[in-house]
Amino acid sequence: MHNDPALLRVERLTKTYSRRSWLAARHPEMPAVAGVDLELRAKHCLAIVGASGSGKSTLARCIAGLEQPTSGRIQFAGRELHAAMIHRRIQLIFQDPGASLNPRFRVAEALEEPLVIHGKNFGREETVERLRQVGLAESMAERLTSQLSGGQKARLALARALAALDQGHPNILILDESLASLDLSVQAQMVNLLLDLRKPRQLAYILIAHDLSLALHWAGEIAVMYQGQIVERNTPHMLLADPRHPHTKQLVAASLEKESLTTEGGGGRPGV
Amino acid sequence: MFKRYLLRRLLHAVLLLAGVSVLSFVLLELAPGDFLGEARINPQLSASTIAALQEQYGLNQSLPHKYLSWLGSVTKGSFGVSFSYNLPVSTLLWPRARKTLQLTLASLFLSWLIALPLGVLSAGRRGGWLDRGTSLVTSLLLGLPDLVLACLVLFLAVRTGWFRTGHPILPITVLVLAALPLLVRHVRSALLDVAQQPHVRAARAHGIHGMQLWFQWLLPAAANPLASLFGLSIAGLISSSLLVETILGWPGLGPLFLEAIAARDFYLVIGPVMLSAVFLVAGVLIGDLLLYLVDPRIRTGI
Amino acid sequence: MKSLPLLQKLAIAVLICLHLAVLGARFLAPYDPTEQNRASTLTAPSRIFPLGTDEFGRDQLSRMLWGGQISLATGWIATLLALGIGLTLGVAAGFWGGWSDALLMRGAELFLALPWLYLLLAVRAFLPLSLSPWAMALMIAAIIGTVGWARPARLIRGVVLSAKEREFVYAARGFGASPWRLITKHCLPETYGVLLTQAALLLPQFILAEVTLSFLGFGVAEPAVSWGNLLQPLRQISIIGGYWWMTLPVLLVVAVAWGFSALEDALASSNRANSG
C-alpha cells in the first residue's frame, strides 16, 4: 500500500517492562506505553508533549527500534519495517546529544560511524561537506568530540543521524527532548537548521518535549501524552484556544505563564 | 530479624564451602600423582602389594564416590584418614588448628589495636608529622612481602638471640607487620571519606567537634567500611599464616600441610585446605554480622 | 610522569633494569648457574665471584640472573592468563547480563573464597616430578592464572556494565551496530585503565607466588634455578646467621615488590588525573 498518505502509522502500541527490569521500578504495574495510535505524514512535524513518566521517551524509542514493543504495530510507508532497516529510515537524537558521542572518538570518526558499521565509508570531501551542512567548520573534523561545545555536539549528532538515513526517501527524525539542554540562542539556531533541512532531506520530525514552548513554535500537530496514552491531539492554535483534557490545560497554563514571564522580563521571545 | 539475616548468611557460607570443597576435590583429582607414586617405582614392592594398598587406601574409587565418602566422614567428624599416619585427619588437624587460631587471633587483636589509633590520628591531623611518618612507613612495609618479613624477623632473632625460634612473638610480629600497612591505610581513608559526608560536615558547621564528633558522628558512619575491613583482615591473616608458621617454626596448620603434600596424603591435604577456607568464609561472615549490628541501613534492606 | 616523586621513579627504574638484566642473563651472567665448584663453597663476594657462592660453590650472581627468568616469566604468564580469562568472562557477563552474569558472579565468589596458596601448593604436589623445569613453570603459571581470574573479572564486568548503558552505545545501536562492534569499539577502551592497574597488582603477587613455591621446595626442581630456590638455604639458621651474601636474593624480591607498588601508585594518580 504505497499510496498510504501517512509515512508512519502506529497502532495500539503497548510497552510494559517486566518486573525484573530496573526501569519497572517507576511503574511496576502500569505499562509505560498503553495502546497508543499515531500518524505522521512526510515532511510534517508532530510534537508529543507530556510530563516525565508519561511514556513519551519510551514511545519514541519503540518507534526508532531501540526497544521492542510488547504489542501493537508500527508501519512505515504502509509496510512493517524490518529491524535491520529501521535505522535507515528513522533516527532518534537523544536528550543529551553530547552524551551520544563517544568522547574518545574524533569528530570525523563519529560522523562516519553509521556508515563504517555497514562497511562503507565517506571520502574526506563528503565528510567535510556534511559537517558544513550542519554548520560545523572543516577544522573540527580532527578534534575529539569531547572538545566540542554543547551546540556543536548537537549539530554533530544531527549530522550523524542524517548520515545514517537513506538519501532520496522521506525519512523521520525523532528529537527526544534533544534541544532542551541547549542555550536558548543555540536552540533557536538548531531549530532553524532543522527547518532548513526539512525539504531538501525530506524529513518528518517527531518532537518529544515536556512543555509546550518549542512545540508551539514549529509543530504542525501536538499530541499530549499522559500516563502512557495520548489524551488529546490538535493543532497548536486549537490546543491553546480550547484545551480539553485536564493535563492539557495544565500544560497550556504553564506555557502561558512562562510566556508572560519572558515578555515581562523585557527581553521578548527569542525569534525563531 | 537478626535471626533471618544470620540464617541467610550462614546458608550462603555453607553453600560456598560446599562449592569450594567440590572444586578442591576436582582440582586435586585432575593432577596425575597420588600417595602411592613413590611406592610404584619401588622395585621391592610387587604389583599385587601395590594393588592391595590401592584397595586399602581407596585410591581406585571414582571421584564422586570419594567425595561422598569424605562428606560422610565429615559428618562423623573424622574428615577422612591420613595415609601416612594411619589416623583420622581430624585428630591431626585440631591441635594444629588451635595453634594457628591462637596466632591469628592474637595478630588480629594486636594489628587492629595499633591500626585504629594510628589511622584515626593520621586522618585527624591530616598532613601532620604523624600522618606523613606513618604514610612513609606503610609504603615501605607494603613493599616487603611476607616471605621477606619472616626471613628478616628470623634473621634478627638469630642475630640478637632475644627470642628462640618457636616463640610466638616472632610469628605474631611478622603477621602484624604484614597486616598493618593496608589496615592503617584503609582505616585512614575510611575516616577521611566519612568526614566529607554531608551530615558530618553539617555537624561540624554546627560547631560540634572533638570527642562528641568522633563518637556520635564519625565512628558510627565509618562503621560500615570498617566492619567489612575486619572480615577481610581475617582472610589476609589466614593466607599469610601458612608461610609464616613454616619459616618461624610455629606448629600450626602450615607445617602439617606442607608435610602432607610432600607425602601426597590426599585427605590430610584436603583437610587444611578446607579448614582455611572455613576460616576465610567465617571471617567474612563475622564481618557481615558486625555490619548488621552496626549499620542500621543493612537491617532495613532485608 | 614528571610529577612523580623521586623514590617512585627510582623504584620503577630499578624494576625495569631488573627485567632487562634478567632477559639478558645469557650475556650478563659470568658463569653457568648450575656449575658447581667444590673448592670454593660459601665464599664471600670477590673479584672471581662478584656476589659470592652458595654451599655448592655455584656463582650467586649468575644464579640470580638466570633464576629471574623462571620467576619473572611465571609471574607474567600467570598474569596474562588471569587477565585474559578475566577480560573474556567479565565482558561476556557485563555485556549480556542475565544468567551468564549471575553465573560469573557466583563463580567469582567461589574462586575468591578459595585459599589459593594452599590450593596452589596442593595441586603442585600432585603433579609428576618428571616435568622439565620450563614445563613445570608453565604448569604453575597455568594454575595460578586459572585461580586468579576472579577479581579482574568482577572489575571488568563492572566497567562494561556501566559502559554499555552510556548514550553513545545506544546511539551506535541505533545505527545498527553489531554487539561485536559495540564491545570492541565502545566498551573495551573503557577497560584499559582497569586492566593496567590490575596487571600492576597481580604481577608482583604472582611472581611472589612462584618464589614462595620454590622457597618451600615445591617449585621448579633442582638443578633448575629460580629466585625461590636461591632463598631456600636461608631456612637454615646457620646460613642466615653466618653468610650475609646469601641474603642478597631477598633484595630482588623487595625490588620487584617496591617497583610494582610504585607503578601501581603512579597509575592510580594518573587515572585520577584523567577522570578528574
Average pLDDT over residues C89-110: 89
Average pLDDT over residues C248-273: 87
The predicted-structure confidence for B253-289, as pLDDT tens digits, reads as follows 999 999 888 888 888 888 888 888 888 888 888 888 8
Window 33-52 of B: residues touching C by CB (8 A cutoff) are 33-34, 37
With an 8 Å Cβ cutoff, is B244 touching chain C? no
Does residue B2 register a pLDDT over 60? yes
Label residue B301 by pLDDT band (50, 70, 90).
low
Cis peptide bond prior to B181, omega within 30° of 0: no
Per-residue model confidence (pLDDT) at position A261: 74
Does residue A42 register a pLDDT over 90? no
The predicted-structure confidence for A78-114, as pLDDT tens digits, reads as follows 788 777 788 888 999 988 888 889 998 999 889 989 8
User: Could you give the percent of chain C with pLDDT greater than 70?
Assistant: 97
- Report the alpha-carbon distance of residue C6 to residue C134 in Å, rounded: 37
The helix (H) or strand (E) run that includes residue C210 is helix C188-215
- Flag whether C1 is in a domain: no
Cross-chain CB nearest to A66 (options C173, C186, C189): C173
- Environment class of residue B93 by beta-carbon count within 10 Å: exposed (0-12), middle (13-18) or buried (19+)? buried
Closest chain B C-alpha to C226 CA, distance in angstroms = 15
Label residue A29 by pLDDT band (50, 70, 90).
low
Q: Which residues of C touch B155 (CB under 8 A)?
A: 240-241, 247
The predicted-structure confidence for B96-154, as pLDDT tens digits, reads as follows 999 999 999 999 999 999 998 888 888 877 778 888 888 888 888 888 888 889 988 88
Does residue C23 register a pLDDT over 50? yes
Type of residue at C150? A
Q: Which residues of C touch B152 (CB under 8 A)?
A: 250
Does residue B300 register a pLDDT over 90? no
Count of domains observed in chain C:
1
- Flag whether C264 is in a domain: yes
Does residue B292 register a pLDDT over 70? yes
- Report the alpha-carbon distance of residue A86 to residue A114 in Å, rounded: 13
Q: Are strands A45-49 and A71-76 parallel, antiparallel or unpaired?
A: unpaired
Which residues on chain C place their C-beta less than 8 Å from a C-beta of chain B?
11, 109-111, 113-119, 121-128, 204, 208, 211-212, 215-218, 231, 234-235, 237, 240-241, 247, 250, 253-254, 257-258, 261
CATH number of C270's domain:
1.10.3720.10
Does residue C73 register a pLDDT over 90? yes
The lowest-confidence range among A26-35, B163-172, C58-67 is: A26-35
Q: Are strands A221-226 and A229-234 parallel, antiparallel or unpaired?
A: antiparallel
Average pLDDT over residues A171-198: 86
User: Could you give the percent of chain C with pLDDT greater than 90?
Assistant: 32
Does residue A74 register a pLDDT over 80? yes
A210 touches A225 (CB < 8 A): no
Q: Which residues of C touch B247 (CB under 8 A)?
A: 235
Per-residue model confidence (pLDDT) at position B302: 43
| Contact across the interface for B246 and C253, Cβ inside 8 Å | no
Window 130-189 of C: residues touching A by CB (8 A cutoff) are 166-168, 170-178, 181, 185-186, 189
Does residue C9 register a pLDDT over 70? yes
Q: Which residues of C touch B139 (CB under 8 A)?
A: 261
Per-residue model confidence (pLDDT) at position A263: 64
Per-residue model confidence (pLDDT) at position A6: 81
- Flag whether C100 is in a domain: yes
Label residue C252 by pLDDT band (50, 70, 90).
very high
What ipTM was assigned to the predicted interfaces of this complex? 0.81
| Contact across the interface for C168 and A102, Cβ inside 8 Å | yes
| Contact across the interface for A100 and C170, Cβ inside 8 Å | yes
- Report the alpha-carbon distance of residue B72 to residue A245 in Å, rounded: 73
Cα–Cα separations (whole angstroms), residue A82 to A71, A76, A205, B29, C60:
16, 10, 21, 53, 72
Q: Do C and B count as touching (3 or more CB pairs closer than 8 A)?
A: yes
Label residue A267 by pLDDT band (50, 70, 90).
very low
Does residue A2 register a pLDDT over 70? no
> pTM for this one?
0.82
Average pLDDT, chain C: 87
Transcribe chain A into DSSP letters.
Answer: -TT-SEEEEEEEEEE---TTSGGGGT-SSS-SEEEEEEEEETT-EEEEE--TTSSHHHHHHHHTTSS--SEEEEEETTEEPPHHHHHHHEEEE-SSGGGGS-TTSBHHHHHHHHHHTTT----HHHHHHHHHHTT--GGGGGSBGGGS-HHHHHHHHHHHHHHHSPTTS-EEEEEESTTTTS-HHHHHHHHHHHHHHHTTTTEEEEEEESSSHHHHHH-SEEEEEETTEEEEEE-HHHHHH---SHHHHHHHHHHHHHHHHHHHTTS-PPP-
Q: H/E/C letters for each residue in C56-86?
A: CCCEHHHHHHHHHHHHHHHHHHHHHHHHHHH
- Flag whether C237 is in a domain: yes
**Total CB pairs under 8 A between chain A and C:** 47
Label residue C13 by pLDDT band (50, 70, 90).
very high
- For chain B, the farthest-separated pair of C-alpha atoms sits apart, in whole angstroms, at 87
- Flag whether C52 is in a domain: no
Chain C: residue whose CA lies nearest to A162: C175
Does residue A266 register a pLDDT over 90? no
Label residue C79 by pLDDT band (50, 70, 90).
very high
- Flag whether C45 is in a domain: no
The predicted-structure confidence for B239-256, as pLDDT tens digits, reads as follows 889 999 988 889 999 999
Closest chain A C-alpha to C193 CA, distance in angstroms = 14
C169 or B1: which leads in pLDDT: C169
| Contact across the interface for C122 and B269, Cβ inside 8 Å | yes
The predicted-structure confidence for A216-251, as pLDDT tens digits, reads as follows 888 889 999 988 888 889 888 888 888 888 888 888
- Flag whether C257 is in a domain: yes
Per the structure, the complete domain to which residue C266 belongs is given by: 6-22+59-275
Chain B: residue whose CA lies nearest to C206: B145
Closest chain B C-alpha to C252 CA, distance in angstroms = 10
Does residue A151 register a pLDDT over 80? yes
User: Could you give the percent of chain B with pLDDT greater than 90?
Assistant: 14
- Report the alpha-carbon distance of residue C65 to residue C72 in Å, rounded: 11
| Contact across the interface for B23 and C114, Cβ inside 8 Å | yes
The predicted-structure confidence for B35-84, as pLDDT tens digits, reads as follows 777 667 777 777 787 777 777 777 777 788 888 888 888 888 888 888 88
Does residue C62 register a pLDDT over 50? yes
Does residue A69 register a pLDDT over 80? yes
| Contact across the interface for C122 and B139, Cβ inside 8 Å | no
- Flag whether C211 is in a domain: yes
| Contact across the interface for B33 and C128, Cβ inside 8 Å | yes
CA A8-A12-A18 angle, to 5 degrees, is: 115
Average pLDDT, chain A: 83
Average pLDDT over residues A46-69: 88
Label residue A1 by pLDDT band (50, 70, 90).
very low
Chain A: residue whose CA lies nearest to C182: A117
| Contact across the interface for B151 and C234, Cβ inside 8 Å | yes
Average pLDDT over residues B13-34: 83
Q: H/E/C letters for each residue in A222-235?
A: EEEEECCEEEEEEC
Chain C: residue whose CA lies nearest to B269: C122
Cross-chain CB nearest to C110 (options B23, B148, B152): B23
Q: Which residues of C touch B33 (CB under 8 A)?
A: 125-128
Per-residue model confidence (pLDDT) at position C206: 93
